[in-house]
Amino acid sequence: MLCFQTPRVLALLFSLCLFPVCTATAFPAKSGLVLNMRNGRVLYAHKADLSLPPASLTKIMTLFLALDAVRAKQISLNTLVKIGKNASNVGGSSMHLKAGERVPLHSLLAGMAVASGNDAATAVAQRLANGSTKNFVKRMNRKISALGLRRTQFRNPTGLPDPGQKSTAREMALLARAYLRAHPRARDMHALPSVSHNGRALYNTNGLLGQQGIDGLKTGFTSAGYNIVITAGRDKTRLLAVVMGAASRAARDAAVEELLARGFGVRK
């Protein structure tokens, strides 16, 4: 049996190990990143600046602007929002809103956070921008610029496919961290296992809730892959992780598991 335990070879083997975990397996998604929520320190990144469609992770920005408006007293969580036909017919994931009904803003926000309702996102965007989704998207992109993010561009408030809609794992992580720092109580909404509307139960699209300390935040899917932003806490450590472009839910979940292992394994 051959033994290669010479100092030079051992040093080479050590240099090939990716901090903090040495593994020969490929990362199970196109892009990923995990950071410490407290100080923003990136603990591990894999192609974190790769441009990819954010899908329904886009709704984090829609929620951010809505809660900004509530804090500025431009609207109340109890304000009844009238649902238009274009909102009820937007397609994709839905909280099954009906044209003409009036729904409290807090219910629409929960429908976005939990069930990823495109109809809810559209209704909220139109209400906040005087009926103009286009003007709301301008606000989204102004907010992105104010946050110093340069590789993200939004084209709608839902995340439905659009050639110009793009982001990166790094920038989605920074956006999500800014969102939760500005509105820390929003995490309670994202952690709800389900909500209901008109007697219909709407279950959280994040099937990882409650596992490994995970208590949020948002999923997304397009033909480009499965995305997720998660928050997780163990002891006094809180992490935020982003996976983008996984080939399946199973691959996405495996990527989350790897990011959490790397993140919680770092000495703070």
Active site residues: 56, 59, 116
Query: Who contacts 178 (Cβ-Cβ below 8 Å, separation ≥6)?
Result: 64, 147
Instruction: Name beta bridge partners: 153.
Output: 166
Is-contact 92 219, C-beta < 8 A?
no
Residue pointed to by tokens 């919680």: 264
Residue pointed to by tokens 């100092």: 7
Query: Who contacts 204 (Cβ-Cβ below 8 Å, separation ≥6)?
Result: 114, 115, 192, 193, 194
Query: Who contacts 121 (Cβ-Cβ below 8 Å, separation ≥6)?
Result: 59, 62, 112, 157, 158, 159
